[in-house]
Structure 1
Amino acid sequence: MNLQEYLRILRRNWIWIVAFSLLGLLLSGVATIVVKPNYTATTRLFVAIQNSGSVQELQQGNTFSQARVQSYVKIATTPAVLQPAINRLGIETTAENLAESVKASTDLDTVLINISVTDHSSVQAAAIAQAVADSLISSVDELEKPKSGGVSPVTLSVVAPAKAPAEPSSPNAKLNLLLGSLTGLALGTVLALLRTSLDIRIRSEADIRRITESPVLGGIAADPTAAETPLLTEAAQRSPRAESFRQLRTNMQFATVSRQVKTILVTSSLPGEGKSSTATNLAIAMARSGQAVCLVDADLRRPMISEYLGLERNAGLTTALLGAADVNDLLQPWGGDNLFVLTSGQIPPNPSELLGSRSMRALIERLETTFDVVIIDTPPLLPVTDAAVLSQHVGGVVVVVGTQQVTNKDLEKSLNSLELVSANLLGIVMNRTPTRGPDAYGYGSYGYESFENEPSTPSFSLKERAETMEFPSPHNDDDEFQRLLHAQESKSTASRFPQRLARRRED
């Protein structure tokens, strides 16, 4: 992954990163409060050598002192020094335990000894430091006395007495909070990378690029009101979702112009990705641009277009395929543009056989001679084979991908199924893409022309083209289904479609 991918991952998981950083800050703050504070008191001693004061003796004494200081530092934490201090203060501890709280050190090339004592009480820390310093002075004096008697040539003097510190030496609140925040930040970043590596759902165009080289024709912006108002006509004219379909319509025209594709099959990998609403709104958008559009509901498993558009479903595609009525009498006009809809009709027991029949191929060829664009909504690719079978009879296929719904493997299987039947994949349409954030594929709500400004002049005469249409006799794929269809469909229901289409032609 490049730097841009890493930045996208961080932006996508910023909530987790911030949450872990705050958690680390909180835990370090709690630990700082809970832990009992320690105070450190320090006293400083000066080591001197007794001499006559000549320059040569001073140099020799200074060298001697620096050499002896290291030994005095080691002696400061021995029981010989610590036990007298304990006895003097009357504290309940041992020399070994006290040695863990006492630290003796010296600065380089000096004759100064620093004795530091850490304790939970600032006053006691200062008292112990002073008592250890006094005990060290006495111990060195005894150790350095000549065996023949006399005064010790080495003297230790307190130059900086120990004082009770006002501030604790530990815990360091600022340092702890900083380390806690950095630790939480690191853990949050690691978790973000781990979640991304384990998340196999399609989230952005970059995820699709890793699977296929097919073009991404567009992204339909997510709209929380789309479930209640799925149609393009019900959305705000300048909303990101409306602009997404206008952009998709434009890209579709470029994708089909060089291949002379008139029939477009719309499908998806799994149910619930929004293929039916995408096909319906794409048909509406194309019809509003002045094209003659026929929308066919070939999802004979779970037809939805009739529900979206409020049309009759009992007589439609299956009615025409079985020869129960002519397709001209089954086309239902919708809206004020040149959009005609062929609903699914009665749900058959053999959808795959009907969609792959010669009657279906002949129906598609007949619609192509009448309409500028034919859009066919089909079932998902993975659960059933309907879309793969029908893709052999159409000019191109568009696969709708529901972001954050379908996985990489599902999309790869879908595309492989289309490749096996040599389908012409026009491209991918991403549905429910976020309008903001790292995975955004939407369009901002800045000024766009409204739908009223789009051309709406009819580009054809349906009556003239219908007179030239030739439709061969349907192939009887299932005698049992045909018998059931004739038994369920009433003449009054089927007779309403030619009358409605005739009134539309007169207008």
Structure 2
Amino acid sequence: MLILALALTGLLGGGVFAVLTKPTYTADTQLFVAIQNSGTVQELQQGNTFSQARVQSYVKIVDSPAVLQPVIDSLGLALSAEELAGRVTATTELNTVLINITVADPSAVQASAIAEATAKSLIKTVESLEEPKNNGPSPISLSIIKPAVAPSEPSAPNTRQNLIVGLVFGLALGIAGAVARSVLDTRIRSESELRLVTDAPLLGAIHFDQETSKKPLLTQTSLQSPRAESFRQLRTNLQFANVSGHAKTVLVTSSLPGEGKSTTATNLAIAMAQAGQSVCLIDADLRRPMVGEYLGLDMTAGLTTLLVGAADVNDVLQAWGEDNLYVLTSGMIPPNPSELLGSDEMKILVSKLEDVFDAVVIDAPPLLPVTDAAVLSQHVGGVVVVVDAQRSRNHDLEKSLNALSMVGSNILGIVMNRLPQKGPDAYAYSAYGAYTSDTTKSSPDIKNRRTGRKSEQEVSEDGIHGLGRPATTLPARSAHRFPSGPWDPTNEEQ
């Protein structure tokens, strides 16, 4: 695209230059230099050599004031000798006695008149310079053999030549720019570029969708869309990456803000819950929490409320959707996020949640701006790093992975986000994209289930987030309920 754009720009520039350039007409005349004396063949050869040597000097004096000032006076030109010299060009070919005089001027008639007058002035000047001291005839004779004629067409601008030059220049500039962009651009836009930084497994590739900013949740898109399939594939690959089963808690983070870690963590939890697992999603980004906002949940009480011992875990966990998905929002933003996330209370909380749920997904802050994610990664079974194919750069990802390695984190793999669905950087999955079906319009019940919302009748019966049970309590199953009473993170019996 860059090469094509610059090539077309160069072509357009050449055309604009040709249109804006004033026409210039060129007239030329030719003079022959001869020796006046005749004699033997040897004398003629010597005279010819002498003429050729003198011709070079005559060419040099064509643009001198001695030649051009008489031209200005005879034609009444409003030019100085120096200005007229810029329009007059004199040349000669090697081993000849011919002098070519070329004049360029906006007027065709004036160009021919100046060329003719310059030739005549040169003849007079040479005769004067070569005149013997005894007032005899000049040994050198100049004569006009090609009179100047007013040209019928301008010699400049050459539209075709300008277009070709503009196209070639733009094409060369585009190629240079493309090469420079390829060399200087360190963004990770494909799996091959990811392999230049790390050998960590590529767990998933999330396709870019224009509607993602408006509809970030997996339940807000078609079940068979490429984006939905990407998260199901991520869920499956994560199971294989965690084949030993030690990483029940997965921490999702990124190198920098805005790479899509929160939406990835949220949709991963939804995909796991849709597969029949009981999942707890924790918003541990205590600086810019987004999970509660995406899911439309109360964020006034949550993780920070538990860590300071101000609430019971059953009071802050919120059920979401028709599946076994429970969300622990961030709660109030504390002044010391790193200390809270690295505390023993956080470690014990994660351990207790692992005993209750099949999987725990934690949305953590980015790695490079703050140390929260690196500190929290020591309390979880594995870490998944989200890489934005439009923004992430090699050195940023390398620093992030080094930060995790320094604290001994278990890096499960990489998730590439915002990959294009078409083009050279598109990921492999798109084979079943044509088989999508808009089932969200089939019935209100299915639509409400996919968006995580209830019908008006269900809301009136069970409350805003009831879904058949109180919004802030766990399901009435012994395997999924904490002991009653205030939450004490230091109480191992609880």
Task: Establish whether TM, by shorter chain, passes 0.5.
Answer: yes
Which residue of structure 2 aligns with residue 235 of structure 1?
A: 221
- Superposition deviation, residue 352 in structure 1: 5.9
**Residue 67 to residue 291, structure 1, CA distance change in 2 (3 Å):** same
Letter in 1 for 2:322: G
Which of the residues 281, 284, 301 maps onto 1:296? 281
Q: Aligned equivalents of 2:168 and 2:144: distance in 1? A: 43
CA contact (8 A) 2:67 2:121 kept: yes
CA offsets 1:454-501 (integer angstroms, 9 cap, x no match)? xxxxxxxxxxxxxxxxxxxxxxxxxxxxxxxxxxxxxxx996666854
Letter in 2 for 1:109: N
1:115 has 2:104 as partner:
no
CA offsets 1:307-356 (integer angstroms, 9 cap, x no match)? 545667788767887596676996847435xx432433855857666655
Q: Aligned equivalents of 1:409 and 1:57: distance in 2? A: 83
Which residue of structure 2 aligns with residue 157 of structure 1?
A: 143
1:130 has 2:116 as partner:
yes
Letter in 2 for 1:242: A
Provide structure 2 residue ranges, at least 5 long, that are not aligned to the other structure.
Answer: 439-467, 481-494
Which residue of structure 2 aligns with residue 248 of structure 1?
A: 234
Q: Aligned equivalents of 1:41 and 1:244: distance in 2? A: 72
**Residue 62 to residue 196, structure 1, CA distance change in 2 (3 Å):** closer
- Superposition deviation, residue 209 in structure 1: 5.3
Which residue of structure 2 aligns with residue 343 of structure 1?
A: 328
Letter in 1 for 2:153: E
RMSD of aligned C-alpha atoms?
4.7
Aligned length: 448
What secondary structure, in the 3-state scheme, does the structure 2 residue paired with 1:225 have? coil
CA contact (8 A) 1:397 1:425 kept: yes
What secondary structure, in the 3-state scheme, does the structure 2 residue paired with 1:253 have? helix
Which residue of structure 1 aligns with residue 384 of structure 2?
A: 398
Which of the residues 239, 253, 262 maps onto 1:276? 262
Q: Aligned equivalents of 1:305 and 1:70: distance in 2? A: 87
Q: Aligned equivalents of 1:74 and 1:310: distance in 2? A: 88
Letter in 2 for 1:113: I
**Residue 320 to residue 136, structure 1, CA distance change in 2 (3 Å):** closer
Tell me whether 433-442 or 217-226 shows the greater mean CA deviation. Answer: 433-442
Letter in 1 for 2:282: D
- Superposition deviation, residue 444 in structure 1: 3.8
Q: Aligned equivalents of 2:473 and 2:59: distance in 1? A: 111
- Superposition deviation, residue 409 in structure 1: 6.6
Q: Aligned equivalents of 1:304 and 1:90: distance in 2? A: 83
Q: Aligned equivalents of 2:296 and 2:478: distance in 1? A: 18
The aligned runs of 1:62-461 (5 Å cut-off) are 62-93=48-79, 95=81, 97-140=83-126, 154-180=140-166, 212-257=198-243, 260-288=246-274, 290=275, 292-299=277-284, 301=286, 304-305=290-291, 308-309=294-295, 332=319, 334-335=321-322, 339-344=324-329, 347=332, 356=342, 361=347, 364-365=350-351, 367-368=353-354, 372-381=358-367, 386-404=372-390, 411=397, 414-436=400-422, 440-441=426-427, 443-444=429-430, 446-447=432-433
Q: Aligned equivalents of 1:34 and 1:111: distance in 2? A: 40
Q: Aligned equivalents of 2:333 and 2:37: distance in 1? A: 119
Q: Aligned equivalents of 2:405 and 2:87: distance in 1? A: 76
TM-score (norm 2): 0.70
CA offsets 1:439-462 (integer angstroms, 9 cap, x no match)? 54574465477799xxxxxxxxxx
CA contact (8 A) 1:298 1:379 kept: no
Q: Aligned equivalents of 1:318 and 1:149: distance in 2? A: 116
Q: Aligned equivalents of 2:347 and 2:368: distance in 1? A: 23
Q: Aligned equivalents of 1:182 and 1:137: distance in 2? A: 44
CA contact (8 A) 2:269 2:325 kept: no
**Residue 303 to residue 83, structure 1, CA distance change in 2 (3 Å):** closer
Q: Aligned equivalents of 1:143 and 1:360: distance in 2? A: 105
Q: Aligned equivalents of 1:263 and 1:284: distance in 2? A: 15
CA contact (8 A) 1:238 1:445 kept: no
**Residue 333 to residue 63, structure 1, CA distance change in 2 (3 Å):** closer
- Superposition deviation, residue 396 in structure 1: 0.5
Q: Aligned equivalents of 1:439 and 1:192: distance in 2? A: 16
Q: Aligned equivalents of 1:332 and 1:181: distance in 2? A: 63
Letter in 2 for 1:335: E
TM-score (norm 1): 0.69
Q: Aligned equivalents of 2:133 and 2:365: distance in 1? A: 108
CA offsets 1:227-248 (integer angstroms, 9 cap, x no match)? 3322223213343322322332
1:38 has 2:32 as partner:
no
Letter in 2 for 1:119: D
What secondary structure, in the 3-state scheme, does the structure 1 residue paired with 2:119 have? helix
- Superposition deviation, residue 83 in structure 1: 4.5
- Superposition deviation, residue 392 in structure 1: 2.1
Which residue of structure 2 aligns with residue 467 of structure 1?
A: none
Tell me whether 95-104 or 392-401 shows the greater mean CA deviation. Answer: 95-104
Provide structure 1 residue ranges, at least 5 long, that are not aligned to the other structure.
Answer: 1-10, 453-492
CA contact (8 A) 1:221 1:443 kept: no
Q: Decide which structure has greater helix share.
A: 1
CA contact (8 A) 2:299 2:332 kept: no
Identity of aligned residues (%): 57
Which residue of structure 2 aligns with residue 483 of structure 1?
A: none
Tell me whether 355-364 or 104-113 shows the greater mean CA deviation. Answer: 355-364
What secondary structure, in the 3-state scheme, does the structure 2 residue paired with 1:257 have? coil
